[in-house]
Structure 1
Amino acid sequence: MVQPRPTWTPKGTEKGGKGKGKKGKFGKALRRISDNVLLTMAWETNTACADFTHERFGSIQMGDDVADIDIDQIVTYIDQQLGQQQFIVLITAGPPCPDFSRMKKSPKGADGDSGWMFKHMIDVEYNLRLRFQGKPFETVIENVVPHPSLRDHLLEMTEPLCVQPIVLDASDGGLAHRKRLWWTSIDWQDVENKLARNTPWSTSWKTDDDWPRLHNPVAVDLQAPLQRKGFSLPACLQQGNKLFHCLTTPSKERTGRPTSPANRSRQMSPSTTQRWQDDHHRYPPWQYEEQFLVQWPDGTSSTAPTELREQLQGLPVGYTEKLAGGDNTQRDVALGNAWHLPTAIWIIFLVLLGTADATIPRSPHESALDKVVNLWTATRVPFRATASTRHVLYRELSDGFPLMGKLTPGVNWHVRQANRVDEHWEFMLDEILAEVKLGRMNGPFKASSWWPKPAVATSHPGADVLLDLPRDDPFIAMAFSIEQTGSDGKTKIRRGEDWRRSGHNATCIMHDQPFHHTAAHFVFLGLTFLERSRATSLRVWGHDHDGAYRQLPLHDPRQAYVLLLTPFGRTLWSHNVLLLGSAASVWSYNRFGDVLVACSRTLVLSPALHYVDDYGSMEDEVSAESSFRAFEDYDGSHLPKRNIEYRVS
């Protein structure tokens, strides 16, 4: 827990899990961007790491293992310690990763020896969130980028977090690889706006193996120059054009570790193999390649010593020297499990930045310059501007900033791109024209009087004349295409509307979230039927609600205009029904779906379940067919038949 500040206010509850050393790295990251931590609570199975973090950060060891976590105990303890103080609950977790690792041929995921801990951590986070309703509550969970076979499994398992994971890699610091997945409660639009207003940084995204990857712009500045403590740096770091391997933990077994499937395809020289064998297989064999070894004055070589591992993780030399009485093996275990400090600082900074305006009102006497200085000082990252840029900024701070004409370029800003016509504009236009014919949409409309350019009509009959706008101040969002892979494996295009950037979604106030039936509910339903007769075969059936949102009316069409850019100009349309892209559509349709399944159970005795617009059930073979048909007849909302059925013994 952290005491509020006038700028932004981090406060946190900290959870380490079974990942040895991770809670210590989180504590250091938090204190690099905030010195007003009120209370740190930790769970750690490694006694040496627990003692180390308590000595470093004063963390309260609540238990040896989060498997035995007591939610009531946590809430009671926080109430006793903090009383009525304002605070933000910050949950951090690094669940064990071996059962998700790409280093294994067939990792078992949540069914593995330690993989179940990930699911347990999600349950803990959910229960704590419920207990702290009304308090700012933030989450940061980290794990490895999973084995490709576990991608869908991991996404489904983490669905209760209601966030999509992103990739961050320590390689942004220019020294070592450490690619990890992060689940956070960050509202990216809000944080991007705050970064633009208050800092010299921005978010930069790309795709990495189909995962969204966020660039860390502060990693290089937070990474201190490497120090040589009696050894020469590995060749890969001396060359400057290669990165060091991702740090791993030494083997727990005296016999070392076997060659993993990921290593068998990697060609190793005889000398590399010999060094690996001589060191009793303590690390994966490729870590013994010449390029990764340090050289000692006596002419010998070795894998990276603890002092180099500390620096590659962004820590100062000797930071862990008091851990386990200075035992280097224990220190290397902690460092191999730890978060990369510059990465942790960046992600924690973004999480806490998102809480800035929500925590306490800003002081009316705090200037914009004060905000910037406070934020820069907090992360200790210099603002690298040229002399000419500093001169222009100084002049504008003294004389004032222009509001019209050519504006001064920013430092390292991306070049602004004009609005581009979507490559699937024709598909989207045809879809809109079809909606107009069905009465679900209206248009095309003339542009508002304040538009710099006029809107255009189309060449299609019935949409070739511009209609007058009912009002001159419609709320407008941009149309964009969404490419998806259908159940047939073919690419399909959908039209979405960017209600996030338009600001529509930000106006919605929701105090709950839709409830969705998952595979677990289907299994429970099937087991219920089996309790009546173990000899009965089960059958699964399903319906997909065609154009689900488009079946329901909206209240005020003025709130739902859409702008579609075409090669011949801008076209303006309005909706009469719910649309894809609106948060309110999700909430509204799910309420409708809840009623639909509730009525199906009472009116036609069909035990239907639903996940948004997908409806289905698992029943005994005797009743499944009639239930499927009864739900189809009862609904009458243009549900296409999709009888997905298979027998379950």
Structure 2
Amino acid sequence: TDPGADQTTQQQSDNDLSAKATGSQQSRRIKDLTRAFVQQLTLVHLSFFDGVGAASLALRALGVHPALTVSWETDIECINVLDEHFQPIQMGDVNDFDIEKLIDTLLDHLDPNVPITILITGGPPCPDFSGVRANPSGTAGATGHLFQKFVRVVQQIKQVLQQIPIYILVENVVPHTNVQQDILELSRQLGVDPIVVDAEDGGIIHRKRLWWLSVQWDRVKPQLVANTPWDLHWTQTDTPWPRLHNPIAKTLQPPLDTKHFTAPAITQKGGLFHCLTTPAPDESGRPAPQHCNEKPDTIHRWHTDHQRFAPWQYQQKYLVSDADGHQHLAPANMREQMMGFDGQRAANMTPDKTEYHRNKALGNTWHIPSAIWLLLLMVMDTIHTPATAISISPIQRATSIWLATSTSFGPPAKPTHHLYMPQFCWQEHIQWTQSLDTSHTPKPLDPTLEWVIQHSHLFHPLADFREQVVLEIRRLVEDMQEVTDDWLRDLPQHVQKAYTTRKQVAQVPVFTLLLRQIDYPQADILHQELSSGFRLMGQLQPGTNWYLRSDNKYLVPKTQEEFTEHNDHYVQRKLQQARVDDHCELMLEEIVQEVKDGEDERTGAAADTTQHASCTANLIITHQITSLPSPSDHTNTTPTSSYTCGDTIMTELTDSYLLTDRNRLHTPEGPTLWSHNVLLFGSSASVWGYNRFGDAMVSVSRLILLCPTMHYVDDYGSTEASHQADSGFRSFEDFNGALGYNMKTSKRQPPASSHKIQGVIISTDTNHITLTPCPQRVERDEVPDGWQPADYSSVENGWGAVIFPPGKMDRAWYFQGRLPQEILKQFSSNTAFIYLLEAWVAIIAPIVCEPILGDFYIQCCDNEA
């Protein structure tokens, strides 16, 4: 990908832009909510210090289209953006405000017989109030006096138009303590006490701001509680003003575009990006702060970039990386998304390599989700009360209860208690095991699984609720079709093939929105990986709250050169072996079907399964870093570790998941060569990535669909009461179908009291759960009849023991040996002989060493296959 490639933009209507900026489903929901409050409301919007029209965009996100918008703005670049999107009547500089000119404008454009309501919005310049400055000047400053001018304009409008309802929404910085008295005086003149709202509620960026809004809180609260799933949540701050939290910020915050650049490192780890500021006005840059404790590399980047922003903005954690690994400041389109825009709001500003005009506008603009929340509260404070209460959608009903419980994701915390277990007398130990009652120490459940079990009774009748959720998801897919089409169009061609079938497109943007609604920690990271690929080499992305590993198994990977050489030898050896898999015909049929569905591609000519395939070293490409997907990755990685990770997958993985290993795709006619467009389960890193996706899938299923779904890698299932099981099965299947995540028909197992999963038959009755190996699995574990010594004579085996006498750490005895082939052949199927060796040494070691052992000894056993 060329990070410098020109981006093509598509002009859309205000509704489309606001839908993209705020999330289609949530935007639609809020529009439905506000429509009941603004019926027959004719709104006139007077926007001062208008910038790029953040207030107008927030109104349109609410579904409010003013009858007239009048704008005061002097920056020509911003005026062009306003004209492009909103076409307001331009009035120029606020210093030249003329009340008579305003009244003439209203009379010229409005019907005098239609009652109007006026909304005044404004964001006066903030530098002379900012806490960043050592001694700001407040209202006496070069730009600070404009706040006082604006307040007088508001007072004049209210005085002249006394008969008209007038509301205000004003924003500025939380001030320096030296100028707090100026802010208190301005608030007194406005007749409104400000509150603090912080963009950090959206989970992406810091932006703590003071907001003045015309709201009667005692009147808004009952309206909000009665008609929405939200409430007013206040906390105290270290300022004279309380903070109001924004419950809709996270669902309104758009994901970051990572097509050309990675997300900033700090946001990838769940942290928050710094508050945006305006760049230096010229090439001389910003002066060095009086006290600067930044690291030398940060200061170097600051100087190299001509000191455009404050030094701390050049810290490593705030940087993004391009496809070549080069680091940059976050680009303007990504900064727009941090502020809640769609990333293209100011794309047509005069371009330059530093994106000065866009960055200046973004440093001055409002955080859109914050503005939407406050405007929603103002709309609810109008005299127009809804005739009927507005119903809460099924998804919002589930997510509001989930979020209110503050339950964590991931596996349960590891138990810290220890049972008393007799260790020094084998008779006592046996007696203890026979009397142990495990019901007193039940296994802890995944918190989200426990949540759905405990709360499903709140959604009675559950079957009806699940059907309603599936219908809402299908409507959401329709509503977001344009967003999904745009997302798909930007993907590489081979990724488009992987996500497109003859019937449907995988609804990744919809899935991401659902993850965001449950506040899933890795929602944006998964969206990036599902769009551009999961890492198969290097540092792997940790799972959500997975346990940390306690060993060094994956901490010393092979180098790229070692991996390339090993992979080449591995592929050549596999081709030379030419082993025909017992399931080759079934596998070939599945692959041919996957080619039709776009998941695989036949290299070279059209797929002809009767022809031999040639494979030479120059076809083996192992430099692919991301794998969802890689049309050039013609070989499967081996069990050789070429990646590092620090956590433990939530399930134990076995070789049973290597059934789709491409290097086993030999047929009686010879090997065939295929290129996969999707993750291949032949590598542990692929399974690692899919498990993280599976965790997200079951989280949405549990918390939105109220299905107690579980998964073991790509096997999904559930245990429910018989009267609910069919509903859970059908709704989970329909949920996957709506998102285009279709399961294999061959793995479909409707509710029953007995199922075969991974070669194990699981049966249940009222009091028991019974696990039985299926006959085929038992047969495979048997040593085949007629085996000759030559069949197992090449199997290496060995055992050893080291003995430290009691109280002696400076000397030890050791011995080792091999099992005779006659004994080994009884246990030589698969890896059974490993367990034999472990048991053998555990028996033979104390027998041999009995003369030097006392009545008490400690024995430790281990093996490595």
TM-score (norm 2): 0.41
Q: CA-to-partner distance for each residue in 1:510-554, whole Å, 9 max, x for gaps?
A: xxxxxxxxxxxxxxxxxxxxxxxxxxxxxxxxxxxxxxxxxxxxx
Q: Secondary structure at the match of 2:90?
A: strand
Change (3 A) 1:131 1:272: same
Q: Secondary structure at the match of 2:68?
A: coil
Instruction: Report how far residue 317 of structure 1 moved.
Output: 2.6
Aligned to 2:101: 73
Instruction: Report how far residue 206 of structure 1 moved.
Output: 0.6
Q: Secondary structure at the match of 1:190?
A: helix
Instruction: Report how far residue 384 of structure 1 moved.
Output: 6.5
1:98 paired to 2:127: yes
Change (3 A) 1:272 1:134: same
Of 244-253 and 28-37, deviating more is: 28-37
Aligned to 1:311: 337
Structure 1 counterpart of 2:309, which letter?
A: Y
1:212 paired to 2:242: yes
- How do 1:78-477 and structure 2 match up within 5 A? 78-83=106-111, 84-210=113-239, 211-240=241-270, 242-261=271-290, 264=291, 266-324=292-350, 328-355=355-382, 358-359=383-384, 366-369=387-390, 388-391=457-460
CA distance in 1, matches of 2:127, 2:262: 32
Change (3 A) 1:16 1:271: farther
Q: CA-to-partner distance for each residue in 1:243-284, whole Å, 9 max, x for gaps?
A: 1100111111210111345xx2x4100010010001001010
Change (3 A) 1:145 1:19: farther
Structure 1 counterpart of 2:336, which letter?
A: E
Q: CA-to-partner distance for each residue in 1:397-426, whole Å, 9 max, x for gaps?
A: xxxxxxxxxxxxxx99xxxxxxxxxxxxxx
**Retained in 1: the 8 A contact 2:46–2:119?**
no
Structure 2 counterpart of 1:20, which letter?
A: G
**Retained in 2: the 8 A contact 1:232–1:295?**
yes
More strand by share: 1
Instruction: Report how far residue 380 of structure 1 moved.
Output: 14
Q: CA-to-partner distance for each residue in 1:98-134, whole Å, 9 max, x for gaps?
A: 1111111111101100110001111111111122212
Q: CA-to-partner distance for each residue in 1:413-461, whole Å, 9 max, x for gaps?
A: xxxxxxxxxxxxxxxxxxxxxxxxxxxxxxxxxxxxxxxxxxxxxxxxx
Greater Rg over alpha carbons, structure: 2
CA distance in 2, matches of 1:269, 1:6: 55
Change (3 A) 1:381 1:277: farther
CA distance in 1, matches of 2:244, 2:371: 13
CA distance in 2, matches of 1:52, 1:326: 16
Instruction: Report how far residue 392 of structure 1 moved.
Output: 6.5
Instruction: Report how far residue 196 of structure 1 moved.
Output: 1.3
Instruction: Report how far residue 5 of structure 1 moved.
Output: 5.7
CA distance in 1, matches of 2:398, 2:120: 25
**Retained in 2: the 8 A contact 1:293–1:304?**
yes
Change (3 A) 1:257 1:8: same
Instruction: Report how far residue 72 of structure 1 moved.
Output: 1.3
- Number of corresponding residues: 379
Change (3 A) 1:5 1:299: closer
CA distance in 2, matches of 1:58, 1:135: 24
- How do 1:493-508 and structure 2 match up within 5 A? none
Structure 1 counterpart of 2:247, which letter?
A: P
Change (3 A) 1:18 1:252: farther
CA distance in 1, matches of 2:462, 2:130: 49
CA distance in 2, matches of 1:248, 1:380: 38
CA distance in 1, matches of 2:35, 2:109: 19
Aligned to 1:590: none
Change (3 A) 1:196 1:175: same
1:20 paired to 2:51: yes
CA distance in 1, matches of 2:245, 2:377: 12
**Retained in 1: the 8 A contact 2:318–2:330?**
yes
Structure 1 counterpart of 2:146, which letter?
A: M
Change (3 A) 1:160 1:228: same
Structure 2 counterpart of 1:199, which letter?
A: T
CA distance in 2, matches of 1:159, 1:260: 34
CA distance in 2, matches of 1:215, 1:70: 37
CA distance in 1, matches of 2:399, 2:344: 25
CA distance in 1, matches of 2:170, 2:142: 20
Higher RCO (C-alpha under 8 Å, 6+ residues apart) = 1
Instruction: Report how far residue 395 of structure 1 moved.
Output: 9.5
CA distance in 2, matches of 1:257, 1:14: 36
- How do 1:544-559 and structure 2 match up within 5 A? none
Change (3 A) 1:125 1:382: farther
Change (3 A) 1:390 1:127: farther
CA distance in 2, matches of 1:325, 1:14: 30
Instruction: Report how far residue 390 of structure 1 moved.
Output: 3.6
Change (3 A) 1:18 1:196: closer
CA distance in 2, matches of 1:380, 1:252: 49
Aligned to 2:578: none
Change (3 A) 1:297 1:255: same
**Retained in 1: the 8 A contact 2:44–2:67?**
no
**Retained in 2: the 8 A contact 1:205–1:215?**
yes
- How do 1:49-68 and structure 2 match up within 5 A? 49-63=78-92, 65-68=93-96
Q: Secondary structure at the match of 2:370?
A: helix
TM-score (norm 1): 0.55
Structure 1 counterpart of 2:134, which letter?
A: K
**Retained in 1: the 8 A contact 2:70–2:91?**
yes
CA distance in 1, matches of 2:78, 2:341: 16
Q: CA-to-partner distance for each residue in 1:476-535, whole Å, 9 max, x for gaps?
A: xxxxxxxxxxxxxxxxxxxxxxxxxxxxxxxxxxxxxxxxxxxxxxxxxxxxxxxxxxxx
5+ residue gaps, structure 2, are 1-30, 403-454, 466-516, 519-865
5+ residue gaps, structure 1, are 397-410, 413-649
CA distance in 2, matches of 1:175, 1:159: 33
CA distance in 2, matches of 1:108, 1:259: 20
Q: CA-to-partner distance for each residue in 1:590-609, whole Å, 9 max, x for gaps?
A: xxxxxxxxxxxxxxxxxxxx
**Retained in 2: the 8 A contact 1:49–1:334?**
yes
CA distance in 2, matches of 1:216, 1:193: 17
CA distance in 2, matches of 1:336, 1:114: 15
Instruction: Report how far residue 287 of structure 1 moved.
Output: 0.3
Change (3 A) 1:113 1:392: farther
Q: CA-to-partner distance for each residue in 1:329-367, whole Å, 9 max, x for gaps?
A: 211111111100100100111111111xx14x75xxx53
Q: Secondary structure at the match of 1:324?
A: coil
Structure 2 counterpart of 1:74, which letter?
A: L
CA distance in 1, matches of 2:42, 2:83: 17
Instruction: Report how far residue 79 of structure 1 moved.
Output: 2.2
Instruction: Report how far residue 136 of structure 1 moved.
Output: 1.6
Of 87-96 and 51-60, deviating more is: 51-60
